[in-house]
Chain A
Amino acid sequence: MESQAFQKIYTKLNNITKATVTLKAADVGYDEIATVHGRMAQVVKLMGDEVTLQVFSGTEGIPTNAEVTFMGRPPQLKVSDDLGGRFFNAFGDPIDGGPHVEGEVRDIGSPSVNPVRRKQPSQLIATGIAGIDLNNSLVSGQKIPFFADPDQPYNQVMASVALRAKADKIILGGMGLTNDDYLFFKNIFENAGELDRIVSFVNTTDDPPVERLLVPDMALTAAEYFAVDKNESVLVLLTDMTLFADALSIVSNRMDQIPSKDSMPGSLYSDLARIYEKAVQFPSGGSITIIAVTTLSGGDITHAIPDNTGYITEGQLFLRRDTDIGKVIVDPFRSLSRLKQLVIGKQTREDHPQVMNAAIRLYADAANARTKLENGFDLTDYDERTLEFAKSYSDKLLAIDVNVDTDTMLNIAWELFSKHFNKAEVGVKGEFTEKYWQK
């Protein structure tokens, strides 16, 4: 950390709690950062001449005569094109052995974009995964999380989505990543041979959990640099936001705040929204798209973290293991991309909306048939056919290992319709059936 001329040094702490220290100090700004005993800390409370600092890595071993140095500024990141290809920690310091990045200094956690300066998102992002492109198309400027149980390969799916999306820059914000996952991202980015367009801010499970609170703001400050200053399309990957929220609850708990649902702080909605709302399409062409991961516990989406997330993001992609085909699929019922109607049938083939809906409806009929079967009732011929359809649909389209273009996805869907059903059962507009039905 660089030192500055006007730094004031204090050496007397009055109070120490698990997460905070309090001392008497003058002329300190709210939100300012400081070092306490060499550890990064931030001002969370000012009361008269008493200053309370939150120490990110915890206060274990900090003595009452610890040295406290105020930096006179909020957390910052130096931005320039040299960020490309680099790996940083939550404080924006390099962890790849490379030099410090030179560039313009920016405060992280910048103000919001004026809503009237935004443009309505309209650019399709193709990923090759039909569970996404066919049923839940992504649009640049969107914010959307994967909802997945911890044992699902969400990081792998996210990495393929990122590399296939034609973004100018990819910014990874890793929070509580295991070292293995960190190395996975590092590898896959290096192997793609496109390291230049990737910037990573990573907090691993080896790092103190509270530090990860800085990761999204770091990643998004870098994203805003590329999207606003360079008019680039930027894709931000945030994984795992559940661990970010856990860190919020650790802090609020240590600060004796009254918890609301699921021991989360009452401000969880605003805290998450502040991050996700950085997703934006600018009229100048620059954009920030956020794809995040929210891990669930036991698939429970009513827990405060996924629940608040769902209220903020523009849909969610739900990963589920389909035991019939033994693969992970993007669940068509519980997934939703709220911006898809801005692009489907417009930037994709005309029959896209109708085909999408028909396939999901038939898949729902299959789910009903399965319930009947489980309850010991006889199946009708139609029921039997929906079950066969569902299996192929799941395998050929919903599975996350699919990688084809949207026209091919639509053709596959028509092929399945024609094989298992008659035209009336599929119920798609006559003109499309005429054109695409496969005899």
Chain B
Amino acid sequence: MERKNKTTGKVAGIVANLVTVKVDGPVAQNEICFIYHNDERLMAEVIKVIGVNAYVQVFESTRGVRVGSDVEFEGHMLEVTLGPGILSRNYDGLQNDLDKMDGVFLTRGEYTDPLNREVKWEFKPLAKAGETVSAGSWLGEVMENSIPHRIMVPFKMEKRYEVKSVVDEGEYTVDETIAVVVDEDGKEIPLTMVQKWPVKMPVKVYKHKPRPFKLLETGVRCIDTLNPITEGGTGFIPGPFGTGKTVLQHAISKQAEADIVIIAACGERANEVVEIFTEFPELDDPRTGRKLIERTTIIANTSNMPVAAREASVYTAMTLAEYYRTMGLKVLLMADSTSRWAQALREMSNRLEELPGPDAFPMDLSAVISNFYARAGFVYLPNGETGSITFIGTVSPAGGNLKEPVTESTRKAARCFYGLSQARADSKRYPAIDPIDSYSKYLEYPEVQENLVEVVGEEWLGEVLKAKDVLLRGKEAMEQINILGDDGVPISFHDRFWKSELVDFVILQQDAFDSIDASTPMKRQKYMLAKVLKVADSEFEFAHFEEVSGFFKEIINFFKQMNYSEFESEEFKKHENRLEDLIKERRN
């Protein structure tokens, strides 16, 4: 898209944030332009071209803009700036550093630098003169917080190059030359620590992308135990409003075994972002002992921020994730909520008067969602290292109905389904993931099964299946009890129902606001599941159905006290002993 002369144009029409621009030269689909209004420059993106008219979506309010205003095209698509200093930042959907903006209110047309140009980084060379490199090759590294941030050959450089020189270990700003490479024609190219990449294009500088095969621990029991997600896996969390999507995502982002966490707050509440701003600088990263904020980047495009930038925000987040993945890191990407992104697409498509698909969403919604999810994944890099992007998006189905287009399209794209149930949320059974409808396709992958056996243990898969079976049988028993009445069924139905309640209360339900219960390491999950299943396998003596609930409520209570205690502490053992006694008394 490089051009000698900038294409310019004039505003010819405006409807909300869709502006028609009459252009005097070539323009590209998705090219960025600026509309000049008084002393403001409003950023916009080309979304359709018909003859000399380019239709652009403006990332800002168009209030006051006039027909005839000047427009300048930039010759590139929407790009992010990649380099050290992205972690711990709070960006908007277009990667403006929010902390650098003046004033309480966002000012239209104010764009800020995503990186700090003054700060000096302690650079360590990794490549040597004479080596052959290509896009994504590691030239050196700096420590970004505690993360080794690799300085790479820019992704846009498509050829092979020979390293001419790399600077010595020392302190450099991001804009200083840290290496010189020579292309096949002998042209010398100086490189800095900064590069740019268009967000809508996937970064594909990896060697190959196998199916994900390694467990990614999240500390959330009903994910890790029942429907695990993998490093490089994809999952989605649909649920009616208030059922716990955001709380669950926050929990995962605090606890998951990831090197980098990128959170895209896409069209949701500002106060939820503020919660992250407030808490993450205080919370410890359980793996490094440093603060969580140090491994986290937040992309905040809250619901009151411009709608077009909302669409961009998820792509911005994904591109940052791809950048860190190429450094050989485990990246966890969260987007809350992908429905808001789909709605932004819908608003624009309606304004363009395109033929609408179901529920007035654009016809290509499914393809857009699939392409986006496809950018996640586990990769082998050309240097033999590995990296991953695990992506979990929330979906906010209209009316809580899972048959709507965004949920259906996402179901085709994501491999794990964590459906939140209104009934579970209403009865405060959090996290409200429906244990029976939810699934992880990864559990069926032989390579994942192998990994689980290796990481958790030989018997694990069998136990997981057994837990699922207990839940299913419990549900059936409950349905019978509801139809026939408490005393219209054999006592064994009550026993079966309460055994599923036991699994529900002890394994599935987890208090996201309790410092101990919030996160359960795999070792502890294994221990507790075995213990619960031992009870589920036992036969008990009951004279009357009312005794069943009494007994199980009591043991659930002890189990829960165990969940609230430090693993294997005195406290934990005390409850465990009481529990064992109770069970012994009852067992046949």
Contacts and interface: CB of A to CB of B under 8 A. Distances in A.
Contacts of B399: 261, 302-304, 307
Contact of B274 (A120, A270, A380, A427): A120
Interface stretch (A2-10, A29-37, A175-183): A29-37
A424 B67 CA distance: 73
B13 A258 contact: no
Contacts of B303: 269-270, 273-274, 277, 312
B578 to A, nearest CB: 13
B302 A74 contact: no
B469 interface: no
A48 B307 contact: no
B62 A258 contact: no
Contacts of B305: 112
Given A47-B13, A74-B63, A120-B271, A260 B346 contact: yes
A46 B554 CA distance: 70
Nearest to B485: A377
Nearest to B351: A257
Interface string B104-136: 111110000000000000000000000000000
Interface residues of B, number: 65
A361 B553 CA distance: 14
Nearest to A270: B307
Contacts of A380: 486, 546
Given A261-B359, A269-B340, A29 B65 contact: yes
Contact of A310 (B61, B241, B270): B241
B5 interface: no
A136 B103 CA distance: 33
A32 B304 contact: no
A279 B61 CA distance: 20
A282 B104 CA distance: 9
A266 interface: yes
Contacts of B302: 112, 115, 277
Interface residues of A, number: 73
Given A260-B346, A277-B304, A333 B90 contact: no
A258 B350 contact: yes
B12 interface: yes
B271 A118 contact: yes
A242 B107 CA distance: 31
A92 interface: no
B205 interface: no
A112 B305 CA distance: 7
Interface in B483-527: 485-487, 513
B304 A274 contact: yes
Contacts of B485: 372, 375, 377-378
A49 interface: yes
Contact of A266 (B103, B104, B343, B428): B343
A126 interface: no
A266 B346 contact: yes
Contacts of A307: 241, 398-400
Interface string A16-56: 00000000000111111000000000001111110000000
A51 to B, nearest CB: 9
Contacts of B300: 115
Contact of B343 (A27, A141, A269): A269
Nearest to B550: A424
A49 B67 contact: yes
B13 A46 contact: yes
A68 interface: no
B567 interface: no
A323 to B, nearest CB: 20
A401 B570 CA distance: 48
A199 B78 CA distance: 44
A25 to B, nearest CB: 10
Contacts of B408: none
A259 interface: yes
Interface string A106-131: 01011111111111110000000000
B210 interface: no
Interface of A: 27-32, 44-49, 74, 107, 109-121, 141-142, 228, 257-261, 266-267, 269-270, 273-274, 277-280, 282, 302-304, 307, 310-312, 314-316, 333-334, 336, 338-339, 341, 357, 360-361, 364, 372, 375, 377-378, 380, 424, 427
Given A115-B277, A266-B360, 5 more contacts: A31-B61, A48-B67, A112-B304, A277-B302, A424-B554
